[in-house]
Amino acid sequence: MVTTHHLQFPLTRNLARSLRAGDSVYLNGVIVVTAGLPTHQRILECLDSGKALPINLKGAAMLHIGSYSREYGSKFEVLYMNPTTSTRFNSYMPRFIRAFELCAVGGKGGLDAECARAMTEVGCVYLSFLGGGCTLLSQAIRQVVSVSWNDLIPQYRLVKLSVEELGPATVGIDAHGNNVYEDLQRQARRKLPEIMDALNKARGKTVG
């Protein structure tokens, strides 16, 4: 049975740990979004050098969400946003999850086992957003709270957004190591021999 949650971000650690893989969630409050490898590389450089980040990521929700934005005068407006593939950032996320004690990460496609281990240690969840759902997701944008690293192209900047009912998203990996992606892969592997057998029989009939 799927449970739906309307959550206030950033999450408390207890609330993050209470979520279960497969739950449906809607996000309210402040999140951090970025879609760029250069952004992740720069965050890592700050961690390695001890240099302060332009925003506080401690306990934050850091989501792999790209955006189409425009600047006019001193204003920065996010016109629409859409999730990007999180697996591109597998090598960075265990360090980030532990260093910043992130309450949530997310995007699409999941993260690898090392990331999931870090999430279990910290009490962090992975939120899976609908790929291609930019029209629905963008309706949740309420305000750009801050924009950092303006030398990068807009979708690579570190942006804090205020959102209202952003979703639905699915808890793809929970803070206890339960993983929707692994469950689906196991189901697919179990069904594969039956599918292949049916295909082989169909080919035999066609050839005969």
Instruction: State the pLDDT at residue 33.
Output: 95
pTM above 0.95, yes or no: no
pLDDT, tens digit, 9 for 90 and up, residues 21-46: 999 999 999 999 999 999 999 999 99
DSSP for 34-92, please give it: E--HHHHHHHHHHHHHTPPPSS--TT-EEEEEEEEEEEETTEEEEEEEEE-BGGGGTTT
Instruction: State the pLDDT at residue 208.
Output: 47
SS3 103: coil
Contacts of 202 (CB under 8 A, 6+ apart): none
The neighbour count for residue 167, using CB atoms within 10 Å, is 22
pLDDT, tens digit, 9 for 90 and up, residues 72-112: 777 888 989 999 999 999 999 999 999 999 999 999 999 99
Mean pLDDT of the chain: 91
pLDDT, tens digit, 9 for 90 and up, residues 147-175: 999 999 888 999 999 999 999 999 999 99
Q: Which of 91, 105, 99, 98 is nearest to 34 (CA)?
A: 105
Instruction: State the pLDDT at residue 27.
Output: 97
Confidence of residue 192 (pLDDT cuts 50, 70, 90): confident
Confidence of residue 183 (pLDDT cuts 50, 70, 90): low
The neighbour count for residue 146, using CB atoms within 10 Å, is 14
Q: How far is residue 4's CA from residue 146's CA, in Å, rounded to a whole number?
A: 29
**Token output for 17:** 């740990």
Average pLDDT over residues 131-149: 92
